[in-house]
Amino acid sequence: MAETVGIYARISEDPLGLEKGVQRQVADGLALCERRGWTVSEDLVFVDNDLSALKGGPRPEYDKLIDAAMSGKITRIVAFQMSRLWRNRRERVDAIEKLAKAGVSVALVKGSDIDMTSAHGRALAGLLGEFDTMESEVKAERVEAAARQRAEEGKANGAVLYGWQRVKVRNQRGDVVDWYDEINPEQAAIVREIVDRLLARESLKAITADFNARSVPTAHGGDKPWRPSSVRKLAIRLANIGRRARGGEDFGPAAWPPIVDRDLHDQVVALVTDPSRVKARSGARTHLLTFGIGRCGKEGCGAHLRVTQKWLNPRHKEMGKTTVYVCDGPSSCVGRRQAWVDDLVERVVVRRLQEPDARDLLTRDDREARAARDRAEGIRSRLDAAADDFATGDIDREQLRRISAKLRPDLLKAERQAMHVVQGMPADVVADMVGPQAKERWQKLAVTQKRALLEAMAVTVTIMPARGGPGFKPESVKVRFERDGEQNEAVDGPVAVE
């Protein structure tokens, strides 16, 4: 009976995608078939390039190979080595049973023929495969141990992080014997700029657009553009404050110097990870009074405001539409033209910022946040001390594990509390907002920054039901500074910041 052969080739890593490794395997397999007098059709050559077989992940061409064996299209599989077929123990056992049932054997370029229809052949396949699995697992353990050692030393796991540059330490022969990371001034300045601008309530989208317009090089270099997600990641990394992350958690002090102050880091993490900010990504924060600042004044309602588009005159649609604040409740109790309401609110706020005591509205009291950060720092110090004791042999690994298991939940709790209680805006951002120049400064702010100032001053805007025909009635819009109870005076007609 003529042999119908299927060739399988696989390589785990091919970062450049050149496929030279799998091409060599296919060539060696074809040469074996030629020596044996076997013919192979092009549709029976199966190649999985840049795919690992250890964890049993998807291998499309391997699946096609097994299907061909089970359907009788091939009677023999040719591979370079057994390890090209299987690394995963469970996958190997399953395949041996399937090939035995289908009567398909294996021929190895670097190895012997294995008859899957005999008990001896199946045992040999299992035995050889166990050594392949062991080799991969030992390598994985070695890589994991090296990664953990780097983490314990505070070193980066892989390429140098954006914001630092790697310095290689060489011996007298010029061989690299060690390395360390130092601050890269240009990149560190970009990270600090991101933090400062976010704390100034600029949006991720605005910062990203500015960096791309300025052609600021990314961590990947070249012409790759910045993305809001990459800006966000740079802003909240533990690495920025000289801490080493592993498995998504704070693993301990890093070997590199910090580039962001701890207090600023906690504030920007609190800001960027604020659940209300996440919920508002649909665009609610692109308007001055939506998402909590503005409310419906109808008795018994009090719902937030949202924006919508309405016809200026339903009978004359050629006049177009305008943006309107409306009650977000089921009855849409109130509604006012956005431009008129924003003008009124801005005039009232600017007038208040020009008063001598306005700075009191912007004074931030984050004593609770500082106390929580102090507690978190104390817990980190205890964890660091335990790691040092383990390194010097004063405690064993089990003792270190118990200490970490007890302290890390407390650390997480303190860090969450520190993030949630931070309020207001950085002092340097609001320092120039108070006084005669308030109007000029206000007009230069983005909407997100204006909103942040309103929130810092505890401003609430209530739109009351109004009667008496068309037109804007300023007295129906109540602007209140909750910290001093002040309310705006009525203004006749639409107003603007002057």
- What are 124-136's pLDDT values in tens digits? 887 887 777 677 6
| Residue 150 banded pLDDT, cuts 50, 70, 90 | low
- Closest Cα partner for 29 from 111, 97, 90, 101? 111
Question: Residue 497: which pLDDT band, with cuts at 50, 70 and 90?
Answer: very low
* pLDDT of 152 over the 70 cut: no
Q: What is the mean pLDDT of residues 138-148?
A: 64
Q: Where are the domains of the chain?
A: 5-149, 182-273, 281-363+428-487, 367-421
Q: How high is the pLDDT of residue 436?
A: 84
* pLDDT of res. 281: 46
Question: Positive or negative, the Cα torsion across 452, 453, 456, 461?
Answer: negative
Q: Tens digit of pLDDT for each residue in 172-217?
A: 888 877 778 899 999 999 999 999 888 877 888 889 999 999 999 8
Domain 5-149 of CATH type 3.40.50.1390: yes
pLDDT at 14: 60
Helix (H) or strand (E) holding 78: strand 76-79
Over residues 27-50, the mean pLDDT reads: 89
Q: What is the mean pLDDT of the chain?
A: 80
pLDDT at residue 57 tops 90: no
pLDDT of residue 166: 86
Contact 45, 64 (CB under 8 A): no
Q: Mark out the alpha helices in 86-227 (DSSP H runs).
A: 89-102, 119-152, 185-199, 204-213
What are the tens digits of pLDDT across the range 407-461? 878 877 776 666 544 444 555 556 667 788 888 888 888 787 788 788 878 888 9
Reply yes or no on whether the pLDDT at 311 is more than 60.
yes
What pLDDT, on the 0 to 100 scale, is given for residue 6?
Answer: 92
Is the pLDDT higher at 462 or at 377? 462
pTM of the predicted protein model = 0.49
Do the domains spanning 5-149 and 182-273 agree at the CATH topology level?
A: no
* CA-based nearest residue to 83, from 135, 26, 29, 27: 135
Number of residues in the chain: 498
182-273 sits in which CATH class? alpha beta
Instruction: Quote the pLDDT of residue 254.
Output: 80
Amino acid at 365: D
The tokens describing 254, both together, are 């890093």
Query: In the 8-state DSSP scheme, what is residue 39?
Result: -
Q: With a cut of 50, say whether residue 366 has pLDDT above it.
A: yes
